Structure 1
Amino acid sequence: MIQLISGEILQLLPQRAAYWPREKMLIIADIHFGKAAAFRAKGVPVPHGTTDQNLQELDNLLRQFEVSQILFLGDFLHAKTARAPATLAALHTWRATHPDLHLILVRGNHDLHAGDPPATLRMQMVDEPHQVGAFTFCHHPAPLPDTYVLAGHVHPVYRLAAANDRLRLPCFVIGERHAILPSFGAFTGGFAVTPAPGERVMLIADDRVFAVPAMPGTLPRQVGRL
């Protein structure tokens, strides 16, 4: 779905990412590499393969769009225990196949605990707010004066109800001064949101992004650590 935001064309993608054509920039929120490994390190049996799944999804997007840079909106590594040898090996193998790709990470709350990714991944590390042209990139969603904020952190999902059926779908939340992207990671969960006045919810279902009517309510501004 193409949106005109702050005078710029931004494509909201069903792969739970956004693409900024002018900058050839792919925007990814909350990928949480190594989260499953961190859970297994604590003795919790969770599925393997989420890192490879995330990297495959990135590669699919790189084949579909002309991308010169990927900007990660925080929470690249889930925790210190996410630095499992298999996770880091997969990241380095993927990086070697994309040596010319510019990678930028806006540090999020998990990055502060996990530490910066290894320097050998050659990522530009920045703190929020990080401004590029018409947009300011943050991990935490909060409007800033004289700019439009793109953020993550919340992992937004929207509840749909029909008769006795209930469904939770990942979504984008688009406001007048800031937007929240869904979590890209394959093992990250979601936080149910209700749009505040002036906000629109863009649902993701299969290969589509579509709008739902705005409803009165309040989108939580203070959320738990994700």
Structure 2
Amino acid sequence: MKHTAQHALTLAGESVLLLAGRALYWPAQQMLVVADIHFGKAVSFRALGVPVPRGTTTQNLQALDALLAQVACRQIVFLGDFLHARAAHAPATVAAMLAWRRRHPQLLLTLVRGNHDLHAGDPSSLLAVTLVDEPYRLGPFAFCHHPDTASEAYVLAGHVHPVYHLRSGHDGLRLPCFLQGPSRLILPAFGAFTGGYAVRPALDEAVYVVADGAIFPLP
């Protein structure tokens, strides 16, 4: 099977691309959709005295830049958990995000508030992010944080941080994945330093695993 950095799907009559960069691209709207970026998660743990790696905000921003270099994009929709906790408002974290925003002033940014956003508070107004609640409707899609949000539209959501456990004998890998069902698509967590929940797809669900810069459907 040939592995590529993107996989084309038709959802609710619209052509979209699943990207190995853990995002969805909607060409008709020149839109990137990103779930669970969790800015400031590492600094939040360090504030509690837990020794965790630095540089996760920079990693997240570099990952966004890599996506923007791949596709023609005029807007990004974040499916919740943009900030991890109130500690994400630390000056260094905010400064890095503002520097990135100054490099992309033309981008329209929309945040569908998630459960962590409710505790962390809204991002700095200087980031010029439009804040909405779920479900946020656009065309045939309902942009949500929680996958079980009720909507007549096709739901694009995050929250779960889905991973798939591939097994071979005594060996195993936990890989981020997209989980596609008849009425919703759950995106993998985009942020660095995020955990994952192992999903078991139902008979009417498909799994698209991300590994080594490629995305591929499971048979």
- Give the alignment's TM-score, normalised by structure 1: 0.92
- Give the alignment's TM-score, normalised by structure 2: 0.95
> Per the alignment, in what secondary structure is the counterpart of residue 65 of structure 2?
helix
1:192 and 2:195 aligned: no
1:179 partner amino acid: L
In the alignment, which residue of structure 1 is the partner of 2:126?
A: 120
1:4 and 2:10 aligned: yes
User: Following superposition of structure 1 onto structure 2, how do residues 2-81 of structure 1 map, counting pairs within 5 Å?
Assistant: 2-81=8-87
- Identity score, percent: 60
Distance 1:204 1:162 in 2: 17
> Per the alignment, in what secondary structure is the counterpart of residue 159 of structure 1?
strand
In the alignment, which residue of structure 2 is the partner of 1:91?
A: 97
**What are the superposed Cα offsets for residues 69-123 of structure 1, whole Å, 9 maximum, x if unpaired?**
0000000000001211110000000001111100000000000000110111100
Q: How many correspondences in the alignment?
A: 213
Distance 1:6 1:121 in 2: 31
How far 1:57 sits from its partner (Å)? 0.7
How far 1:196 sits from its partner (Å)? 1.6
Structure 1 residues not aligned, in runs of 5+: 214-226
Distance 2:22 2:67 in 1: 11
1:175 partner amino acid: G
How far 1:147 sits from its partner (Å)? 1.1
Distance 1:49 1:81 in 2: 15
Distance 1:83 1:43 in 2: 17
Distance 2:203 2:184 in 1: 13
Distance 1:184 1:126 in 2: 20
Distance 1:96 1:145 in 2: 35
List structure 1 runs of 4+ shifted beyond 4 angstroms: none
User: Following superposition of structure 1 onto structure 2, how do residues 115-194 of structure 1 map, counting pairs within 5 Å?
Assistant: 115-142=121-148, 144-194=150-200
